[in-house]
Chains A and B, each alone.
Chain A
Amino acid sequence: MKTYDAIIIGAGHNGLTTAAFLAKAGLDVVCLEKNEYIGGATVSREMYKGWLYSSCSYVCSLLRPEIYRALELHKHGLQVTPFGGSCQFMENGDYFGSYHDPEEAYREMARFSRRDADAYERYSADTMRQCRLVRDNLLRTAPDPTSFKPKDLMGLAELGLKFMDMGEDAMYETIRFWTMSVAEYLDQYFETDVIKTTKSGSGIIGTALGVYSPGTAYVLLHHYMGDVDGNVGTWGVARGGMGAIADSIAGALQTYGGELRAKAGVEKIIVKNGRATGVALESGEEISARLVVSAIDVKQTFLDRMDKSDLPEDFYNRVVNFKIRGSSGKVNIALDGMPTFPAIPKGSTLYHGDMHFIDSMERMERAFDDWKAGTWSKDPYIDMLIPTLTDPTMAPPGKHFMSCFVQYCPYQIDGRAWTEPEREAFGQTVIDQIANYSPDFKSLILHYEVRTPEDIENQIGITEGNIFHGELTMDQLLFNRPVPGYAQYRSPVSGLYMCGSSTHPGGGVMSAPGANAAREILADLRRTNTVPENFGDD
């Protein structure tokens, strides 16, 4: 029987990234995917004839340009087009627009508060200062603070230097920043509720926390630290949907001679004498390899696909306690034409950006209250985007695809499975909220798909459908991600590695966990590194 150099479990974008860099280094790799399609949460599929749905992730900013370049993803069909701005519709008929053009953005803020408009400069600089610290660590393995290895000491020293280099004030700020709520953070700059509401959204996306919960300021950063062509904080759409990202990485993988197998769900990771030696598929087939890399989340990897007896007790318990709660859903809609939003001027650039329909911090917090009570938000925070205004390929000309990301939506209702009427009601909640601001919207709906966290778990396996493969709170970041002592992509079992979003630097379509894992694996094998370095920004 053939023995591969490495098996990668899961063809999400991170698994594919790891596989591609290993194949590029000359390793004989196979990437195994349980579904008949690849991409995991980075996927687009024809869910309605003529329409491509980006069923999970829908916008791109975090994808590291270094990786894009190193894998030559443009040669495999990837194109990321930035879109500008966003719009917050208000109950009183007004709206707050965020424009790409800084002066337009200034004037709009000043329409509500000149003071807020002026404060934006300070907010931007302070946020960018935090961003720089984080961005610098994305394509690095988190140093282990307990280790005396030169690499870790160096890494820590570098991190420390960067930190000290920020200046005394900023050091205090950083500590506060990493622990405070997004609401408190924004209160330091803005007085207008709708402006704060607009900016707070990024603090709770994918997170089982409310805008007033400590730790959400960091989540804001996680959505701000990406860039499109160096414009930090800008988001874009992948031409052909988010699946184009996974497909292009798969293209690179195959160019480097790597194998990709769909419909090959892994039932068990095989461990012999404390060493991973391969996997057993759901079909019963066994595949052996010198090492196994898991791109599925840390709970599925260690709790579902391994025997407890092969794992140290402490480690096992930490994995059990890893926070990975489902809090987001999606409603994807095929539209017969472009809906109108009478509150904003015809032809406004705001149509191209994302739209939200919630206008106060109070409403944001209430939305979270519903989740805590075990149900979906009756007045949710929706991040709605019509990508077809930017990407002409996802629907027939003149028709549109609408992606609605919904916060909050629980994994289960009161601790039990969703019923069909409940799913339907959740979908209707979303449609109704949008229809409040668009009179012709409902009449244009041709088809829609409702996705609860439970659906996401069932389809692509992510525990509780948590979009980041584990929450992005300080206790689960950097050298604590996924669990202390195992933040460098290695596991307690020799020959078994992790490379999915449960690892540093976390979730989002970023490819950084996958690339970092590949670098560590190649180092262990003493092979030439194929993973690029951070571009740097001094």
Chain B
Amino acid sequence: MSVQHVPLGRLRTPFYERMVKLDTLNTWHEWKGYSTPDALYCAETEYFAIRNATAVFDLSPMTKYRITGPDSLAYLNRLVTRDMAKVKPGRVAYAVWCDDLGQVLDDGTIFHLREGEYRLCSQERHYDWLITSAIGFDVTVTEETADIAGLAVQGPTSYSVLSAMGLDGLGELKVFGLMHFDFEGTELMVSRTGFTGDLGYELWITADKAEALWDALFAAGQIFGIRAIGVHALEMSRVEAGYLAAYQDFLPAKATVRNGRTRSPLELGLEWLVDFKKPNFNGRRALAEEKRRGSTWRLVKLDIEGNKAAHHSYIYEKSKNNRKEIGFITSAVWSPICKQNIAIGTVKMPHGAPGSTVWVEIYYQREMHWNRAMAKAIVVDKPFWFPPRRSATPPGPY
């Protein structure tokens, strides 16, 4: 019998060889089995490529499923909490899906590629859940993670770069829209989406065309300051944009062991994604009940005084006397673009209403010695970074 042995060690994405050529730091880590760079030149420079020029991030390891069949819309509408009927072909939706208890399994983006044909893209793997949920629906769910290569092309000059690459008509594309182009005889899908909160696009193509796409992109981008980036830079921009990261700001419900470690969409500030008016969906009853009774947790975005990043900090109600611990920070960064000390955290209800003040205990080290600061923080409800260019249509040249 001929056995197909699994590859051992880390997998290489379709762009690996191209990234290695640019890499000067040699610091990589694992992402869903693939090697992915922390940074290629300098995390700081790469961050500024996102905010100042064009940054290219390899997102091929993102888990991808193709969903087709006559019942695909009904199926997705049952799966996720938002109303997918409103997401027309050529549109993309950010969505969460829950278990029966209304606890978030994951978040992701759903691309309505063509009438009745979707791609679901997420951080975690969900084939088991997707197949279980498909019972009774005439749909096909196909895992296509390794087949489709993905590149995020983000930053103020990204539109100029893609136009220079010959993607005519891209100027009309609105935020959360997608378009198909021909790239050397292969279909290239471009969506105006991203994880940076800036002007930007994501490019999707079959893996065999990945390198050719990369080369065309970098040739066109050279005069626009294009740069490949690693995860560190992306992570900074992600927090500035106020986006959540699985395993950091929430845990996929199916992966938790301890009681009370899961979160509902309401507790993650994603109530806008829950549509109680649409037909039944997974977790609906539990979420309706939670809405009536009140949630246990609240996700907060914090604008913290001072300049010391509040990694892993506890959040308190008061700074002195009767200090009550009300939550903790899950993501923190000094924002170079806003010159703000920002963080995402979780607090117990009813604390953390927008505009309210909480206190954050920050430990920081200076020449071996540790210092502690109690810093005042304001709960904000808007993303920290939300520039007009993100949604300008057509986008400006810069």
Contacts and interface: CB of A to CB of B under 8 A. Distances in A.
Contacts of B157: 392
A73 B42 contact: no
Nearest to B386: A75
A239 B42 contact: no
Interface string B27-68: 000000000000001101100100111000000000000000
A397 B52 contact: no
Interface stretch (A77-85, A111-119, A496-504): A77-85
Contacts of B45: 82, 84
A142 B361 CA distance: 32
B224 A81 contact: no
Interface string B148-188: 00000000110010000000000000000000000000000
Contact of B52 (A69, A230, A392): A392
Nearest to B396: A393
B223 A397 contact: yes
Nearest to B308: A535
Contact of A535 (B42, B51, B160, B307): B307
B336 A229 contact: yes
B339 A69 contact: yes
Interface in B286-341: 306-307, 334, 336-340
A360 B168 CA distance: 54
Contact of A239 (B52, B224, B339, B371): B52
B89 interface: no
B225 A392 contact: yes
A398 interface: yes
Contacts of B156: 392
Contacts of B398: 392-393
A214 B214 CA distance: 55
A393 B338 CA distance: 20
Contacts of B41: 349
Nearest to B337: A74
B342 to A, nearest CB: 11
Interface string A369-399: 0000000000000000000011111000110
Interface string B355-398: 00000000000100001000000000000010000000000001
A100 interface: yes
A101 interface: yes
A79 B371 contact: no
B51 A538 contact: no
A68 interface: yes
B45 to A, nearest CB: 7
Interface in A216-252: 228-231, 239
B339 A74 contact: yes
A101 B26 CA distance: 14
A79 B51 CA distance: 8
B307 A230 contact: yes
Contacts of A74: 337-339, 385
B307 A65 contact: yes
A398 B42 contact: no
B337 A392 contact: no
A346 to B, nearest CB: 13
B339 A101 contact: no
B48 to A, nearest CB: 5
B366 A538 contact: yes
Interface string A501-538: 00000000000000000000000000000000001111
A65 B48 contact: no
Interface string B107-134: 0000000000000000000000000000
Contacts of B51: 79, 81
A106 B53 CA distance: 30
B218 to A, nearest CB: 13
B44 A82 contact: yes
Best-buried of A68, A229, A349 by chain B (most CB within 10 Å): A229
Contacts of A393: 398
Contacts of A538: 366, 371
A397 B340 CA distance: 31
Contacts of B225: 389-390, 392
A100 B53 contact: no
Nearest to A69: B339
B339 A535 contact: no
Nearest to A234: B44
A74 B198 CA distance: 13
A13 to B, nearest CB: 16
A68 B52 contact: no
B52 A391 contact: yes
A231 B43 CA distance: 13
B52 A84 contact: no
Contacts of A389: 225
Contact of B42 (A69, A81, A101): A101
A79 B52 contact: yes
A248 B329 CA distance: 32
Contacts of A84: 42, 45
Contact of B337 (A79, A230, A231): A79
Nearest to A71: B339
Contacts of B223: 397-398
A81 B52 contact: yes
Interface string B195-235: 00000000000000000000000000001110000000000
Interface in A44-89: 65, 68-69, 72-74, 79, 81-82, 84
Best-buried of B41, B45, B51, B366 by chain A (most CB within 10 Å): B45
B160 A397 contact: yes
A100 B336 CA distance: 18
A74 B51 CA distance: 12
Contacts of B371: 538
A72 B380 CA distance: 14
A100 B42 contact: yes
B21 to A, nearest CB: 12
A536 B305 CA distance: 12
A300 B156 CA distance: 42
Nearest to B225: A392
A202 to B, nearest CB: 22
Contacts of B307: 65, 230, 535
Contacts of A69: 338-340
Nearest to B306: A535
Contacts of B340: 69
B224 A392 contact: yes
Contacts of A100: 42
Contacts of A535: 306-307
A536 B224 CA distance: 37
A392 B155 CA distance: 11
Interface in A396-431: 397-398
B227 to A, nearest CB: 11
A391 B224 CA distance: 9
Contacts of A239: 52
A77 to B, nearest CB: 9
A299 to B, nearest CB: 34
Given A100-B42, A392-B224, A81 B339 contact: no
A406 B44 CA distance: 30
Contacts of B44: 82, 229, 231
Contacts of A79: 51-52, 337
Given A392-B156, A538-B371, 10 more contacts: A69-B339, A69-B340, A74-B385, A81-B52, A101-B42, A390-B52, A391-B52, A392-B53, A392-B225, A535-B306
5 contacts: A74-B339, A100-B42, A391-B52, A392-B53, A397-B224
- Nearest first, the 5 closest Cβ-Cβ pairs linking A and B are A398-B223, A68-B339, A69-B339, A535-B307, A397-B223
